[in-house]
Amino acid sequence: MPTPEQIAALIEYVGAHDSEADEALAGRKYDEAAALVDRYIGAGYAHLVPATVRDEQVLEVASKLWQRRLAPNGDATYNTLDGAPTPAPRDPMAAAYPVLDRFLPGGFA
């Protein structure tokens, strides 16, 4: 369960306005992001990733999950007049992989 500070940080990070800032939704997205990041890191390697790095990646992934609900059909510019459609990333962890990989052991061929 995220703390009120973590929920507030997510709402601020995504730039939500008071009218759309649903704390319950933000809490669910934060929990989902934490589960994704922790699963990728793995219980046996959690000690290798600094807490600040993990927390920042959870926030980043949570923001991607938050924005996904605003992008019907994967179009990040769906509700704007910004021109050509911009596809939203399908994998919310896409930005977190290279950051977390710096701290995790690599595989062997």
pLDDT digits (tens, 9 = 90+) for 29-46: 999 999 999 999 999 999
Neighbouring C-beta atoms of residue 78, cutoff 10 Å: 14
Residue 24: inside a domain: yes
Q: Which of 71, 60, 69 is nearest to 98 (CA)?
A: 60
Residue 107: inside a domain: no
Q: Which of 31, 10, 32, 34 is nearest to 22 (CA)?
A: 10
pTM of model > 0.85: no
User: In sequence order, what are the beta bridge partners of 75?
Assistant: 87
Residue 31: inside a domain: yes
How many structural domains is the chain composed of?
Answer: 1
Q: Which residues contact 32 (CB under 8 A, 6 or more apart)?
A: 62, 65
Residue 108: inside a domain: no
Residue 109: inside a domain: no
Residue 62: inside a domain: yes
pLDDT digits (tens, 9 = 90+) for 51-104: 999 999 999 999 999 888 766 666 656 566 666 666 666 899 999 999 999 999
Which residues span the domain enclosing 92? 4-101
